[in-house]
Structure 1
Amino acid sequence: MTQLFPQLDNQFKPILYSFRRCPYAMRARMALQLSSIQVEIRDIELKNKPPAMVALSPKATVPVLQLGENTVLDESLDIMLLALSHPIETLLPSDCATEPASIEIISTIDYQHLMARIQNLAQRNDDLALIAQNDNQFKPWLDKYKYADRFPEQTEGFYRQQGEQFITLLEARLSQHAFLSGAQLSLSDIAIFPFIRQFAHVNKAWFDQSPYLKVNAWLTALIDSPLFASIMVKRPVWQWVQ
């Protein structure tokens, strides 16, 4: 990852290139929703990526956050760390008029805890280690489970069993406390949640009757949260001029 807290250009409104259903983009949008950083979200089509985005990030995968003329973040965790260093609580006094959804989002999240875990090196590294397991070990099995017909070497059930090793780890954590890293929502919850959502929806009937009761409850709570609803609003595809 790049430097933790890049400087924002006050003369430039950040632009986020995103795809609504991409789990990496989801976690970036969730973190940005919790921050004071106001961004222009440009939803794209993965089959028709805008040259403006590709020019900023040649790897051409979402999310891509343009912070200024010469500053780009194209790793979702970098975007999350930047966003969660700018919590909105500090900008909203108790008498501030906000939309009802924003009030509900704020009232259910401990911003001091979120920021403290990121600022604390040991706690941040603990979160990042769990996220690395998700991204590097669980995600490849998730892809094979989700698209088992593309990987005929093994059965869908085999790929699910490999993914279950990580689900079992999360179940153990959630048996100790309400969230993955403790009693409060943290970086790891936001970063991992979209991928567990994908895993659950490959075969929702199976997942609902699975022994992972704590994971299921945690997942349901996040899916039903105003925070998630706020980042899943459908937007028209951003139109770019060729």
Structure 2
Amino acid sequence: MNMMQNKEAVPILYSFRRCPYAIRARYALNFNSKKVCLREVLLKDKPKELFHFTEKGTVPVLVLDDHSSIISESLEIMSWSFSGKNDWTSLVTEESKKLIVENDQYFKYWLDRYKYFDRYPEYSKEYYREKCETFLESIEILLKNSLFLAGDSISFIDIAIFPFIRQFALFDMNWFTTSPYKNTQNWLNTFLCQTDFNEIVMKKFKTWKEYNSEYLYP
């Protein structure tokens, strides 16, 4: 990944390194060797250019070559990297679709409350963690008979979900590593130990707005 000197005809990806939605988009792009011009943004000081492409100002956002098409949902960016189309539901089984939706809606909801439990004093940190565990139990069951969520090789569903499990684990790694979710731990470690994940997907970049730096990724 080098700083771009000449403007190549590649899509532009607005990203934020730690965001799980952006992580799964970047992982899929690297997994499928789809090159983009990466612009790292600072969420508390978003560049005005980002709002030209999305009113919400959220990341990731993929701006295709001619700027005529914008993909502003991470699952659709993943789908584009796999098939050139942004209909992700056509790439997974009905069972996988349900699990991804549960991750994005149910698990993420409780994950945010677990991580920021002091902002949600209605319940304890342990209560929010137990709510998250309901989803972990589903993951654990799926991994009893296979290395990954849809078989013995990495697929769309694994890439869609693992960044959120990573975020959950990192909040209290000691609890996670001593929890009964051994299959889930092994599955997550498969990603966390990958050279590509650490050196490409999670590589640190200078903020685009501040330094006007953009990089050819991956």
Deviation at 1:181, TM superposition (A): 1.1
Q: 2:192 aligns to what?
A: 223
Deviations 1:8-62 (A, max 9, x none): xxx8420000000000000000011122421010000001111111110111110
Aligned counterpart, 2:53: 56
CA distance in 2, matches of 1:34, 1:85: 12
**Percentage of matched positions with identical amino acids:** 43
Query: Separation in 1 of the partners of 2:28 and 2:93?
Result: 15
Q: Does 1:156 align with 2:125?
A: yes
TM-superposition CA deviations, 1:142-186 (whole Å, max 9, x none):
000000000000000000000000001100000111101111111
Letter in 2 for 1:66: V
Deviates more, 1:165-174 or 1:34-43: 34-43
CA distance, structure 2, for counterparts of residue 189 and residue 227 of structure 1: 16
- Residue 192 of structure 1 and its aligned partner are, at CA, apart by 0.4
Give TM-score scaled by structure 2 length: 0.86
Is 1:192 equivalent to 2:189 in the alignment?
Answer: no
Q: Does 1:80 align with 2:78?
A: yes
Distance 1:15 1:154 in 2: 41
Q: Which among 8, 13, 21 is matched to residue 10 of structure 2?
A: 13
CA shift at 1:239, angstroms? 2.6
Contiguous gaps of at least 5 residues in structure 2: 1-7, 213-218
- The answer to whether structure 1 residue 39 and structure 2 residue 8 are counterparts is no
RMSD over aligned Cα, in angstroms? 1.8
CA displacement at 1:122 relative to structure 2: 8.0
Shift of 1:124: 3.8
Map of 2:148 onto structure 1: 179
User: Equivalent residue for 2:136?
Assistant: 167
**Residues of 2 paired with 1:201 and 1:38: CA distance?**
29
- 1:128 aligns to what? 97
Number of positions where the alignment pairs a residue of Structure 1 with one of Structure 2: 199
In the alignment, residue 148 of structure 1 is paired with which amino acid? F
Q: Which amino acid aligns with 2:39?
A: R
Structure 1 CA distance for aligned equivalents of residues 123 and 157 of structure 2: 30
Q: Is the 8 A contact 2:16 2:22 kept in 1?
A: yes
What are the Cα deviations for residues 105-152 of structure 1, in whole angstroms up to 9, with x where unaligned? xxxxxxxxxxxxx79x48443322211010011000000000000000
What is aligned with 1:7?
Answer: none
- What residue number does 2:22 align with? 25
> In structure 1, the residue corresponding to 2:83 is in which secondary structure?
coil
User: Which range moved further: 64-73 or 121-130?
Assistant: 121-130
Q: Deviations over 1:183-241 (max 9, x none)?
A: 11111100100000011111111111000000011111111112312211111000368
Conserved? CA contact 2:92–2:157, under 8 Å: no
Q: List, as ranges, runs of 4+ consecutive aligned residues in structure 1 with deviation greater than 4 Å.
A: none
Q: 1:235 aligns with which of 200, 205, 214?
A: 205
What secondary structure, in the 3-state scheme, does the structure 2 residue paired with 1:178 have? coil
User: Taking CA–CA contacts closer than 8 Å with sequence separation of 6 or more, which of the two structures ends up with the larger relative contact order?
Assistant: 2
Structure 1 length-normalised TM? 0.78
Aligned equivalents of 1:135, 1:141: Cα separation in 2: 10
